[in-house]
């Protein structure tokens, strides 16, 4: 009984206070209440691309969200620090000039292997950030971040099992990047505090989310929105598919090698004219080794024995710019990769059955002669999309 009375008194007090405040406001300023009305981002699906987009229900893409996300993606203070040597943002490792991968001649990571603010190398080499909105099969080399993942938080990193710390989508990779010791190596609190302290952000958060509140959930959502808008669909190969240009004779011969089983037989795992994403988004063991001890392979996610040594067959779009190649960066050049598929395959019982060239009469690979290797390479280079590499709306807004 006493409790109820107390609650009524508190409620009345709140009501009275609210009335006083609102009267006060009405007298002072006559601004109409602003309605939160963000503009839906017009996400165009390029010709021939799938229409099944991976956008979580609770994070629709808006112009305002993308604008905010672009700033945060490029803001080194996302690290929660502002001294010159401890700035780190997503763009530190995901460079537009390298198709949002690490690229050659990176000022900090000349060998292409990035490390976090504490100097620890990332367990794998980076992945490019484009066309991710079409990936419904899981992110990262092993697909750990996927819609099926019901885990929350990472207790060993001090991240509690709360809904905003899900492990299901691009949003997750934002807060994970902040706390991962081999990346930003910070804390959620430091990042939130730093972003709150920067003058330009409250207004951008208000436009994107309806009020000025700044928290990790909104930081993650806006960066994820920006990343979902990054599309690569304007390579020479795209233009060829749209009937706007012809491939050169070498590129055409390379395409035939790429998408025939008698040829180099790449298309089963990496897409083709019928799948211009140039990835199936699926996981395979592509016969590089016969000993498997990386805890972060596909087996590390599924626990299925057949997934040992399996990784995502990443997109071959912009492959010219995304070396070093493979999850462990073992090949520095495309020529090395082509030599590997031509005569370097290693037998193991885990090699995927689609690695057809492991079987007799081949055994070691597609056995391409030098002109064929040059043709295959010419085709791979036709997958470079200069528009992506230079498009202003993806570039550093600062
Ligand atoms: C220190 C370098 C580094 C920084 C900084 C970094 N990343 Fe990454 N990123 C990586 C590496 C390495 C991978 C691949 C990890 C793996 O799969 O093992 C990756 C993978 C990803 C992927 C998965 C792509 C795919 O196709 O599955 C996304 C998304 C991503 N990063 C987003 C971000 C965002 C957002 C930020 C900023 C908060 C960020 N990254 C900061 C190195 C970095
Ligand atoms: C059985 C499926 C499969 C086939 C067939 C296949 N690949 Fe791959 N490819 C993969 C997988 C899986 C990876 C990633 C492996 C890793 O990182 O350890 C990969 C990686 C690559 C990479 C490096 C990607 C990067 O971003 O680092 C290139 C380039 C490549 N493949 C080209 C080819 C070419 C060219 C062919 C045909 C000669 C081919 N692949 C055939 C599955 C396949």
Give the HSE-up count for residue 387: Cα atoms under 13 Å, Cβ half-sphere.
13
Which of 161-165, 221-225, 252-256, 295-299 comes out lowest in average pLDDT?
161-165
Cβ contact 139:171 at 8 Å = no
- Better pLDDT: 29 or 305: 305
The count of domains in the chain is 2
Buried-state track 84-116, b at ≥16 Cβ within 10 A, e below 16:
eebbbbbbbbbbbebbbbbbeebeebeebbbeb
Range(s) of the domain holding residue 315: 236-382
Instruction: Determine the distance separating the centroid of ligand 2 and the alpha carbon of 344, expressed in angstroms.
Output: 13
> Ligand 1, closest atom to CA 88?
5
Decide whether any atom of ligand 2 lies within 6 Å of the 266 Cβ.
Answer: yes
Element (H, E) at 311: strand 311-312
**Ligand 2 mean position, distance from CA 310 (Å):** 11
Question: What average pLDDT does the structure give for the chain?
Answer: 92
For residue 96, pLDDT beyond 70:
yes
Q: Is 313 in the pocket of ligand 2 (CB under 6 A)?
A: yes
Average pLDDT over residues 164-191: 96
**Do the domain assignments include residue 69?**
yes
Residue nearest to atom 40 of ligand 2 (CA): 266
Q: Which ligand is nearest to the CA of 128?
A: 1
Find out whether the beta carbon of 366 lies less than 6 Å from any atom of ligand 1. no
Let me know if residue 203 belongs to a domain: yes
Query: Mean pLDDT over residues 75-81, rounded?
Result: 97
Q: Does any ligand 1 atom lie closer than 6 A to the CB of residue 126?
A: yes
Same-domain check for residues 76 and 166: yes
205 shares a domain with 75: yes
pTM for the model = 0.92
**Could you tell me the two tokens for 384?**
């470079």
Residue 130 lies in a domain: yes
Has residue 260 been placed in a domain? yes
Cβ of 103 less than 6 Å from ligand 1: no
Are residues 265 and 216 both part of a single domain? no
Identify the sign of the CA torsion 110, 228, 172, 207.
Answer: positive
Residue nearest to atom 42 of ligand 1 (CA): 126
Q: pLDDT tens digits, residue range 335-348?
A: 999 999 999 999 99
- Nearest-CA residue for ligand 2 atom 6 is 266
CA-CA distance, 228 to 225, in Å (whole number)? 5
Residue 70 shares a structural domain with residue 200: yes
Q: What is the pLDDT of residue 31?
A: 64
Give the model confidence (pLDDT) of 315-342 as tens digits: 999 999 999 999 999 999 999 999 999 9
What is the predicted pLDDT for the residue at 126?
97
Are 126 and 219 part of one and the same domain? yes
């Amino acid at each position: 009984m006493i409790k109820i009375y107390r609650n009524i008194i508190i409620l009345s007090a709140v009501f009275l206070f609210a009335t006083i405040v609102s009267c006060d406001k009405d007298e002072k300023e006559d601004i109409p209440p602003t309605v939160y009305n963000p503009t839906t981002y017009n996400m165009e699906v390029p010709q021939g691309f799938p229409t099944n987009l991976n956008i979580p229900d609770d994070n629709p893409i808006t112009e305002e969200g993308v604008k905010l996300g672009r700033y945060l993606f490029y803001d080194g203070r996302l690290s929660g620090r502002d001294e010159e040597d401890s700035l780190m943002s997503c763009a530190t490792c995901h460079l537009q000039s390298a198709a949002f991968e690490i690229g050659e001649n990176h000022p900090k990571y000349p060998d292409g292997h990035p490390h976090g603010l504490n100097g620890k190398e990332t367990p794998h080499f980076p992945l490019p950030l484009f066309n991710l909105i079409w990936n419904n099969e899981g992110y990262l080399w092993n697909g750990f971040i996927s819609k099926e993942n019901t885990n929350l938080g990472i207790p060993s990193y001090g991240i509690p099992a709360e809904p905003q710390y899900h492990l299901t989508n691009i949003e997750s990779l934002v807060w994970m990047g902040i706390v991962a010791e081999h990346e930003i190596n910070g804390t959620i609190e430091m990042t939130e505090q730093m972003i709150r302290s920067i003058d330009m952000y409250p207004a951008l958060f208000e436009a994107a989310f309806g009020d000025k509140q700044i928290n990790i959930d909104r930081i993650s959502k806006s960066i994820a929105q920006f990343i979902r808008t990054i599309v690569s669909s304007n390579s020479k190969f795209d233009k060829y598919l749209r009937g706007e240009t012809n491939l050169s004779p070498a590129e055409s011969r390379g395409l035939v090698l790429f998408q025939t089983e008698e040829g180099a037989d790449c298309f089963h795992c990496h897409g083709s004219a019928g799948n211009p994403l140039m990835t199936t988004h699926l996981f395979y063991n592509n016969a590089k080794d016969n000993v498997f001890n990386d805890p972060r392979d596909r087996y590390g996610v599924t626990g299925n024995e057949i997934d040992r040594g399996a990784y995502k067959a990443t997109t071959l779009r912009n492959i010219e710019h995304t070396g070093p190649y493979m999850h462990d960066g073992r090949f520095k050049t495309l020529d090395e990769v082509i030599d590997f598929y031509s005569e370097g395959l290693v037998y193991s019982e885990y090699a995927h059955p689609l690695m057809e060239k492991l079987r007799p009469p081949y055994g070691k690979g597609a056995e391409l002669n030098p002109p064929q290797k040059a043709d295959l390479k010419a085709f791979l280079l036709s997958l470079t999309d200069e528009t992506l590499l230079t498009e202003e709306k993806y570039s550093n807004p600062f």
